[in-house]
Amino acid sequence: MNLSEFFQGPHFGRVLLFRLNSKLIALPLLDLKEVLEDLTVTIVPGAHPLIEGIFQLRGKILPLIHLHQILQSGALTATQQSRVLVIQYEQEVCAFRIDQILGIEALEEENFPDYSDSGRFEFKGESGQLVDAGQVYALIQEQMNMQD
């Protein structure tokens, strides 16, 4: 995402930090809609392999996508710390599983050594990637079209 936009309002650099396998990911807090402990997924016949299935959240049917496949982070291991993040991009809502939530942080400009739109950042000596909901949507749509 555009970093200068990310640091100006309404984001102000605030993110949810989490782990996908060994990858450290930061999601702008405003793109996060909800965190779920667990859910029951329904298989959808004919759905794209990047879609694990559907689930319902307060009456709405939402897709659960394989973010770890989209970001190629390697498979997830279900543990007590596993969570499902529900994200929103414009009117679109979807969810994905993650391994562990690390917390809410405010990233500073110095966290981004190359300050590029790749979103690579350093946090407490570890390298991570900033991904916003729009990017998740763009990536999944690109990969779905590619494999079609």
Partner 1 sequence: MTMRERERELIFRLEGLDVQDLLLDVVLFTSFYKEIQAYLEEVRKENHQGFFIAREIYNLLEELAFAEDVQAEGPRQLQLKIDALLAFLNGVLQTSPSEFSSTEPSIAASLGDAEFRELVPVPGLLQDLQPFLLEFSSMSEYLQELDSSLSKGNLSRNQLQELYRGVHSLKGTSSFFEVLQDTIPPFCHELETFLANLLERGELANLEESQALSRSLRFLQAMFQNLQAALKGDRRRVELNLEQSLEQLRRLNAGSAFEVEKIMSSTRIVGGGQTAVRIPADQMDDLADRLQKILLSISRVYREQDLSRLLFREIELIEKRIRGVQDRILDLRLFSVAGLFERCERQVHELSSRLNKKVTLSFQGSDTRVDKQISDGVFLPLVHLINNAIDHGIEEEREREKVGKTIAGKLIIRAYYRSNRVVFEVEDDGRGLNESEIVRKAAEVGINVDFGSIPREHQLLRLITQPGFSTKSTLSQTSGRGVGMDVVSNQIRQLGGTLGMETREDEGTLFRIQLPLSFFTSECLVIEGARGKLCLLLSNVYSVLRVSQLEPSQNQQLQQGHLVHEGEDLKVASINNSVFQSDGGTEDTLLLLKDTYSNSFGLLVEKCSSKETLLIQPMGNSLLNQLTLTRSAGILSDGSLSCVLDIDELASLVDKSAEAQA
Q: What does the binding site for partner 1 look like in residue numbers (CB under 8 A)?
A: 9-10, 12, 14, 16, 29-30, 32-37, 40, 42-48, 51, 54-56, 58-63, 65, 83, 88, 92-94, 101, 103-106, 140-141, 144, 148
* Closer Cβ to partner 1, 43 or 116, answer by number: 43
Write the single-letter amino acid at 126.
E
CB of 82 to partner 1, least distance (A): 11
| β-pair type (60-65, 92-98) | parallel
Q: Residue 55 in contact with residue 125, Cβ under 8 Å?
A: no
Neighbours of 60 (CB within 10 A): 9
Structure tokens at 25: 């990911």
Distance in Å, CB of 58 to partner 1, minimum = 6
Q: Please report how close the Cβ of residue 89 comes to partner 1 at its closest, in angstroms.
A: 10
